Amino acid sequence: MLVWQILIDGFAISALYALGATGFTLIFGVSGVLNLSHGAIMVASAVAAWAIAGSLHAGAYASALGGMAVGVVLAFATYFIAVRPIQRSRRIAEAEKEIFILTTTLLWGIILQEAVAYFFTSNAKTVLPIVEGVVRVLGVRTPSNEFFTALICWVAIGLLWLLVNKTRHGKEVLAASMNPRGVTLLGIELSRIHIAVWLVYGVLASLAGVLLGMFLGVSSYSVGPLTASAFSIVVLGGLGSVSGSLVAAYVVGYLETLTAYLISPAYRTIPALLLLVVVMYLRPQGLFGRR
């Protein structure tokens, strides 16, 4: 029984981590940006969904979509306020741009976090679940929501793969991540690509946020840990490698679940941290990263 419980619970959590991490690594791979407001966008999307459900009495679907819309808007705002001005600035040396973007996205994340806490209090919120009830699978009583979450995450990831590998627009984005100059030589405007990437990122991050809100609930306190977790997973998997992020997400997700069930819920995050330390010593570029 316990084995199946761990397998199922771990799968759902890992799928959520994977979705969040994929968006994070996509932005890094194409834009070269480590978006430290990632957690804030996720939480803001979830809280928006909760707020829409509460004040407009919208159904579960409508609130979820509304929350995602808010998330996409915020992702664009992140790009236009915190990222693009620095990337285009002539007053900052190229080598320094990275840390400036880190600082601005960090500040932007704090602004979003504080805004959420100010308008909605720092209490945890849960999003109206689209799927309710429990199912018995292999003798384990599991909320249907967990299966729904895992399903949606993988559908989203699958769609992303299709987009990047099979569509023309997607291939442009992939090419841009490898060689921005080359792409411009082909007559494709880079700025269009950036907008496309941030749009995709917004959808992924807000979806992850809303699903997290349905599954476990979020609060303004979740912002920091969510960003740190995405960051850790992405670096563990190898920056810029989407498949690396997926694998790493499952490694971390299962490590946490196993620890929580078999050792103690209080020590949940520790093995993953220790793994990171080991990987940093032995293989600093991550599991699938290129040096």
Q: Biggest alpha carbon distance in the chain? A: 63
Give 15 or 183: the residue with its C-beta nearer to another protein. Answer: 15
Instruction: Single out the segment in contact with another protein by CB under 8 A; choices: 126-134, 154-162, 174-182, 200-208.
Output: 126-134
| Cα distance between residue 4 and residue 10, in whole Å | 10
Q: Name which position in 3, 7, 61, 96 contacts another protein (CB under 8 A).
A: 96
Residues 272 and 236 sit within 8 Å (Cβ to Cβ):
no
Which residues, 6+ apart, have CB-to-CB distance to 71 below 8 Å? Answer: 41, 42, 44, 45, 48, 202, 203, 205, 206, 207, 209, 210
Residue 224 in the binding site for another protein (CB under 8 A) = yes
- Are the beta carbons of 130 and 61 closer than 8 angstroms? yes
Collect all residues with Cβ–Cβ distance below 8 Å to 233 and sequence separation of at least 6: 17, 21, 245, 248, 249, 252
- Which tokens go with 82? 């915190």
Binding flag, residue 143, another protein (CB under 8 A): yes
Cα(213)–Cα(71) distance, integer angstroms: 13
The single residue listed with the structure tokens 């099979």 is 166
Place of tokens 């749009």: 199
Is residue 86 involved in binding another protein (CB under 8 A)?
Answer: yes
Residues paired with residue 134 on neighbouring β-strands, in sequence order: 143
Binding mask 150-189 for another protein (x = CB under 8 A): ----------------------------------------
- Using the contact rule CB under 8 A, the part of the chain among 124-132, 149-157, 186-194, 197-205 near another protein is 124-132
Q: For the segment 247-286, give every residue that binds another protein (CB under 8 A).
A: 257, 260-261, 265-270, 273, 276-277, 280-281, 284-286
Nearer to another protein, 159 or 273 (CB): 273
Instruction: Please report whether residue 62 would count as binding another protein according to CB under 8 A.
Output: no
Report the nearest approach of another protein to the CB of residue 186 (Å): 29
Q: Is residue 218 helix, strand or coil?
A: strand
Q: How far is the CB of 40 from another protein (least distance, A)?
A: 11
Q: Does 129 bind another protein (CB under 8 A)?
A: yes
Of the residues 48, 64, 79, 125, which one makes contact with another protein according to CB under 8 A: 125
Number of residues forming the site for another protein (CB under 8 A): 74
Q: Which of 7, 155, 225, 290 binds another protein (CB under 8 A)?
A: 225
Q: Pick the piece of the chain touching another protein (CB under 8 A) from 41-49, 70-78, 135-143, 189-197.
A: 135-143
d(C-alpha 106, C-alpha 202), whole Å: 17
Distance, first Cα to last Cα, the chain = 42
